[in-house]
Amino acid sequence: MRSILLHIDDDDCLDAKLQVALDLARSFGGHLECLQAVPYEIGVPGDLYGTMAAQILPELRHAAAGLRQRIEPRLAAEDVAWNWLQEDGPAAEKLIGRSGLSDVIIVGCCDPVSRSSSALPGEIAIRGRTPILLVPHEARSFDSNKPALVAWDGSPEACRALRAAVPLLARAERVILATVAERSDERDFDLPATQGAEYLSRHDIACEMVELPSENRSIGQVLAGAAAAREAAYIVMGAYGRMRLTEMIWGGATRALFAHPPLPIFACH
């Protein structure tokens, strides 16, 4: 986790994202790359000739410059190597484009426009090939030495997340490999938790395997409760094991946890 890509935007998660990124970089002796994406074109309903858009764009540029002036002095005061990139274009495109040599992309759950949950983490998780660390706005620090909860369902997504999280899990004082109990005919994958535990053991990581009863709760609620009960610092999970459109319509663990993450979530699709 030495090459860390951080999404910079003026949203409610900015302070939390920045602090988590600094803590992670400091723990691993890593480099923090701050990417600020500024829209180069926008569409305004009813603005047939682009007049309103032409007036808004300079203000967006001015706001972006002000944000950079606000954040750079804080970065300069930290004992972390960093650089700043400002690129014109959609945030998802720019983050994915810069992520090829990044170990993790740090994003927040907040949307800067609607002030609700952001669609950006899901888009990057689906389209990118780099794991994300999704940060809730309540986060104040990130301690990689604290316990970690791994959500395990035997899926390819869970396997990829487990592999990508090894550098983090190797530092955790305790790793909990958690499976949510379901009826046998509902399980889509048959890689048991023991195989996940065996994989971790080959990296000298011991884990505790637990099966969590659902008790008429959603999988997201079960995982959040288990993480809180075990004082976990973060959750590792596969993202969108089902088609994303299916989760958008019917709901799912990824959608629920991404919308309201109880803790930082390390996720891969």
Rounded Cα distance between 233 and 236, Å, is 10
pTM: 0.89
Q: Where are the chain's structural domains?
A: 3-135, 148-268
Say whether pLDDT at 241 is over 60. yes
Domains 3-135 and 148-268 share a fold: yes
Q: What is the mean pLDDT of residues 46-73?
A: 74
Which superfamily, per CATH, for 3-135?
Answer: HUPs (3.40.50.620)
Specify the pLDDT at position 52. Answer: 52
Rounded Cα distance between 102 and 2, Å, is 8
Strands 175-180 and 148-151: parallel
Residue 185 is which amino acid?
A: D
Q: Does domain 148-268 have CATH number 2.40.70.10?
A: no
The string of pLDDT tens digits covering residues 205-216 is 999 999 999 888
Reported in sequence order, the residue ranges of the chain that DSSP labels E, i.e. its strands, are 3-8, 31-38, 81-88, 104-108, 132-135, 148-151, 175-180, 208-212, 234-238, 265-268
Specify the pLDDT at position 211. Answer: 94
The string of pLDDT tens digits covering residues 147-159 is 999 999 999 999 9
- Length of the chain (residues): 269
Rounded Cα distance between 239 and 216, Å, is 22
Rounded Cα distance between 206 and 127, Å, is 32
Rounded Cα distance between 224 and 136, Å, is 13
